[in-house]
A and B are shown apart, each in its own frame.
Chain A
Amino acid sequence: MGTRNVLWNLANKYFTFGLIGLTVSDRYASIVPVRGASMSPTFNPQASNFTDDYVLVEKFCLEKYKFSHGDVVVFRSPSNHKEKYVKRIIGLPGDWIGTTHNSYDVLKIPEGHCWLEGDNSASSKDSRSLGPIPLGLVQGRVTHIVWPPQRIGAVERSYPQERVSSP
């Protein structure tokens, strides 16, 4: 009888912590690992390391879906809803963007979409192959790196301003 009570209490406590943890990570902020080298040197600057960077993702931006140029966001892939990627917003709805660095291809980003690119353009699957991505797929904004300790700090907002022209 005593052990059943103890087990029940333990299960209750774990269940409650699980619910609270899930709610906080869905509504406010969560910590996620970043895999791959598509955002070098911002995240994972040494590709062959066994440890990934851990970053803080905030969810307050999902109230109004108001983003700025240069924000790093987590989003679901449009070609596979189970995968999530981390890339930087280069263009917002209504911008004219030059799709590749040295060509004259210019594209207008439709309403409700954005142009995402990885900082390491050599190996990054992003809007240059997937096209403009609906903002509804964005799951959160990366604000800080929390691991490894020597690179703890805020994530800078920077983007190639010469390729984007905003209204």
Chain B
Amino acid sequence: MRLVNYMRQWRSVAKEALDRTAIVAKFLCLLHVTNNYLCSPTLVYGPSMLPTLNLTGDVLLTEHLSPRLGKVGSGDVVLVRSPVDPRKTLTKRVVGMEGDRVTFFVDPLHTDRCQSAVVPKGHVWIQGDNMYASSDSRHFGPVPYGLIQGKVFFRVWPPNGFGLLEQ
């Protein structure tokens, strides 16, 4: 008799545990879909986008709909998977779309030399705003559009920079 009682209690506890786990799993799935398809926060740091972004780290909101719909254009700040190391993500500005002719300073620290290139089909030309300390398309060439992960549209931290990013 006591055994039957224990079984009943255990079954109700197990059912409740399963329900709670299902809720947590559903929440994690919702989080994954939102982070990958809608909007996600990212911490970015580094000197290559001064003065737009700080050296010691900004938290930015990136939206992932625009790259999928092909709506990324010149002047947008984007998160791009690095063509040199696929585990790293870069934050740069799109300077030229496919078919554009881009003119850039090859090595502004040492020379005034300018070079010009045409962006091939399906690629974009990305450059950091701080051209003295940025490794971008001037060094590794145009990157395929498919590497663009998201478009930055809002800054959340630090608080004095809270708001939309200026074009």
- Which chain A residues have a beta carbon within 8 Å of chain B's beta carbons? 16, 19-20, 22-23, 26-27, 64-65, 76-82, 110-113, 134-138
Give the segment of B9-17, B47-55, B102-110, B120-128 that binds chain A: B120-128
B4 at the interface (CB under 8 A from A): no
Task: Say yes or no: A16 contacts B26, CB within 8 Å.
Answer: yes
A113 to B141, CA, bound (A): 13
- With A22-B29, A65-B87 already in contact, the answer to whether A112 and B144 are too (CB < 8 A) is no
Task: Say yes or no: B86 contacts A134, CB within 8 Å.
Answer: yes
| Selected A-B contacts with CB under 8 Å, 16 pairs | A16-B26, A20-B29, A23-B29, A26-B36, A78-B122, A78-B123, A78-B144, A81-B70, A81-B122, A81-B144, A110-B84, A112-B83, A112-B84, A134-B144, A135-B86, A137-B144
Partner of A136, one of B36, B123, B147: B147
A8 to B71, CA, bound (A): 34
Q: How large is the interface on B (under 10, 10 to 19, 20 to 34, 35 or more residues)?
A: 20 to 34
Q: Which residues of A contact B32 (CB under 8 A)?
A: 22-23, 26-27
Partner of B82, one of A64, A82, A136: A136
A22 to chain B, nearest CB (A): 6
Chain A residue nearest to B27 (CB atoms) is A19
Interface of A is mostly: mixed
Q: Which residues of A contact B70 (CB under 8 A)?
A: 81-82
A84 to chain B, nearest CB (A): 9
B130 to chain A, nearest CB (A): 23
Task: Say yes or no: B83 contacts A134, CB within 8 Å.
Answer: yes
Per-residue 0/1 for B124-145: is the Cβ within 8 Å of any A Cβ (1 yes, 0 no)? 0000000000000000000111
- With A20-B29, A23-B29, A79-B122 already in contact, the answer to whether A137 and B87 are too (CB < 8 A) is no
A62 to B22, CA, bound (A): 26
A76 to B148, CA, bound (A): 12
